[in-house]
Amino acid sequence: MTDMFQSSQPIYSQLADRIKKQILRGELKPGDKLPSVREMGMQASVNPNTVQRTYRELEGMRIVETKRGQGTFVTENEESLLLMREKLKEEEISEFVRSMHELGYADAEIETGLQAYLNNSGEVGKE
């Protein structure tokens, strides 16, 4: 895990985002065990207390579950994972649209541009 953290956001939050994206990409599957707090701290080059806070945040979101004496695991609750997936999609779309509005694009221009991009990407993927 190459660990470059931005100073604009707390490290525990950035680490939580990375883990959520690993789950979305299927790198971490429901029921998979996460590295121990100490192990994750070494991998990410952060203090174990930061990892503990990350795991608590993810547990509060019902994305992971801690089993006493066994470790922390990706939840097997499909509904929680689906909610996380939808929430992340909405956040990414919101950020994209906000950025486009700041650049002066109208909703119709954004929609047309996005549709053209998706159509072109589909053709590239078929080659």
Q: How many domains, in total, are found in the chain?
A: 2
Please say whether the beta carbons of 66 and 59 come within 8 A.
yes
* Inside any domain, residue 67: yes
Indicate if 68 and 89 belong to the same structural domain.
no
Indicate if 30 and 71 belong to the same structural domain.
yes
What whole-number percentage of the chain has pLDDT above 70? 93
Helix (H) or strand (E) holding 58: helix 48-60
Q: Which regions of 61-117 does DSSP assign to beta strands (E)?
A: 64-67, 71-74
Determine the pLDDT at residue 127.
41
Determine the pLDDT at residue 12.
95
Indicate if 106 and 65 belong to the same structural domain.
no
Range of the domain at 114: 79-126
Tokens of 100: 């486009």
Question: For the whole model, what pTM was predicted?
Answer: 0.75
Tokens of 111: 């929609």
Tokens of 38: 């100490």
Please say whether the beta carbons of 77 and 23 come within 8 A.
no
Indicate if 86 and 121 belong to the same structural domain.
yes
Q: What is the spatial distance between Cα 70 and Cα 95, in angstroms, rounded to a whole number? A: 38
- Given a cut of 50, whether residue 126 has pLDDT beyond it is no
> Tell me: the pLDDT tens digits for 73-114?
999 998 989 998 999 899 999 999 999 999 999 999 999 999
Q: What is the spatial distance between Cα 115 and Cα 71, in angstroms, rounded to a whole number? A: 44
Please say whether the beta carbons of 72 and 34 come within 8 A.
yes
Indicate if 95 and 52 belong to the same structural domain.
no
